[in-house]
Amino acid sequence: MQDPKNSVKNRVMFYFAILFVLFTILALKLVWIQIINSAEYQHKALNQRVSKFIVNSERGIIYDNTGRKLAVSLPAKTVVALPDNIIKAEKTATELAALLDQDYKTIYRRITSEAAAIFLQRKIDEKLYQKIKAKNLEGITFTEESKRYYPEGELASHIVGFTGIDNNGLNGIELSYNNHLNGRAGKMIVERDAEGRTIPNGIREAVPGRDGYNVHLTIDSVIQYMAEKELENAESKFEFSGGSVIVMDSSTGDVLALANTPSYNPNKFGKYSEKNWRNRAVNDVFEPASTFKIITAASALEEGVITENDILTDPGHIYVENQKINCWSSLGHGSQTFAEVVKHSCNPGFVEVGLKMDKKTFYSYIKAFGFGEQTGIRLPAEAKGIIPDYKDIGPVELATFSFGHGISVTPIQLASAVSAVANGGKLMRPRLVKEVDTGVGSKNIKNEPQVLRRVISQTTADKTKELLKQVVKNGTGTKAAIKGYQIGGKTGTAKHYNDDLYNSSFIGIVPAENRDLVVLTILYDIEGETYYGSQTAAPVFKNLTENILNYLNVKPEPGNDFNYQETEKELKVPDLINSNILTAESNLRELGFNVKIIGDGKSVADQLPSPETSTNYNSTIWLFTEQELKAETLIPVPDFRGLKLEQAKKIAARKGLELILDGQGKVIGQSIYPGSRVKSSRKINLKLR
């Protein structure tokens, strides 16, 4: 039997041991709190008595180039529920569901939650605010936030873009310049007692915020309005899915207007399809068609493979590796100068010119003019365009490039490239933002005009512009002509591959005092009988340009005719075979010819046209340093049918073709079909009667 004394002693020792362990644990806990982890608990204690308040910053304003506000920030009320203060939840939910146009169950669930405060609907308009306020609902209050507002509504919506509910940019300049516009929120820290009262000598700290920077655009709101209005007018005349207009100052690259249809109101962007938000002038690509002939012409003139007086022939088609490429005129244009080829927009003529440039040269010009890469306009999702890889380009692809098929470009790329012709040969980076105003005491961020590179010479640019004036004067672009102004331009019509739809376009160079403007109009997916660029896009261009010139106060000059005159002067080609190549070139230029040297030799082995041939003043004479180079040169065969013998001989001599004649009178047949490309050594039989 256990001794009672030992039993008591054991129980005392057991309880003592428990107390010792508890004391040890408590002591260790105190050491942990007071010494080891003291900083964390000090921080928690501070947080219990310190309140932080966010001081929202003001988002920057977006201005056009005249100081008109395109985007501003206005105060707006946000509906806030305080669940602990709501007494009649069912009634409150019913009232709010009707006013906020939300589901009753959703509202009820939110206002009966355990949260201290809940946003029910943010940034409501003044009318709705007054309606809710008038209900005097217990536990429903309001807080003030900043709401983005676009005073001009749809005007320039594809440029300006819009923001989301948190005032962060989601599209346009609002997105691409979001870091500049957004600013930085401030912070206020205040120490309070247990009852929430501010402690007089407690902690107070203010971290200042920064309002967003103001952004100044190059856009002129008046010109922008005109551009959008002309697209709207076109919708009442033609059936098309959308359109784009760009107006650019070629001297600086400044975009004065960039319009698209369909459009949208950024104040209510959520009510529109995402298709309406799309900036087709920057995000989408299209086949430029004949408007690209401006690039082909400028490149060929710069390379010296052609001059405006060189004679080309068009039987209505041309063959390239057994592929027949037709002219828009089934009868063709016959024998014509390159100036007339441009004026008539003759595809076979441009194919011949494009193929005179070798693949490497033509491709390098296409890239130099900025196609196949982003322009750097700084708008979201800019497309690069589609240029086939160099290795995939053969003679047929090169031929179709010459008249704008087989490649895809963006409207902003095309406007920038033609601006390089308009300003004398310099490719400018398109400029949409002129300056970012960083506020008092800071240096503004200026976006100066930027020359990317020189692509052609001033001389070539001037020649190209004169050719384009003839297109408007009495070529395919006459519906774009404005009396008293020397406007040059080019039409374009591209058929969709799988549908009976067309993209029609016109791009023009417009003298406006000490600068040239480039105006591009595009109508996408036109259907119906009227679809040519000359019938649709050119009249849109004319109406818009007339309004712009009037607005800019650019006065017409009565009787202001175009300066370029095609020359009828003919010269005989001298015999230069075996001459020193440099001496031969110098002699030809003194006589008034243009010269293209083929080969790396030091003397002339052969020439084209042949000696004693009569050809136009300033036409191109090809000098070959090796006879094999001439023998391999492919020449399009003219249509000799119906010509008199002397006419046929003259054309053949100019082209460098040798004829075998059978009979007298007029040509009634030829051994090689017109439009075929043959080596210069190939002889052509003509039957005459």
Distance of alpha carbon 539 from alpha carbon 448, whole angstroms: 34
Whether 335 sits among the annotated catalytic residues: the reply is no
3-state secondary structure of 534: coil
Number of H helices, E strands in the chain: 22, 33
With CA atoms as reference, report the closest residue to 299 among 391, 368, 351: 368
Tokens of 147: 């709401």
Contact partners, residue 625, CB within 8 Å, separation at least 6? 581, 597, 598, 599, 600, 601, 602, 603, 604, 605
- Return the residue matching tokens 């005179």: 356
3-state secondary structure of 424: coil
Tokens of 500: 């009976």
Distance of alpha carbon 561 from alpha carbon 483, whole angstroms: 9
Distance of alpha carbon 561 from alpha carbon 485, whole angstroms: 8
Distance of alpha carbon 40 from alpha carbon 337, whole angstroms: 88
Strands (E), 513-593: 515-526, 570-572
Burial class (CB in 10 A: 0-12, 13-18, 19+), 536: buried
Containing 490, the helix (H) or strand (E) segment is strand 488-495
Distances (CA, A) of 383 to 89, 178, 284: 53, 20, 6
What's the length of the chain? 689
Indicate which residue of 157, 244, 250, 290 is catalytic.
290
Provide the annotated active-site residues: 290
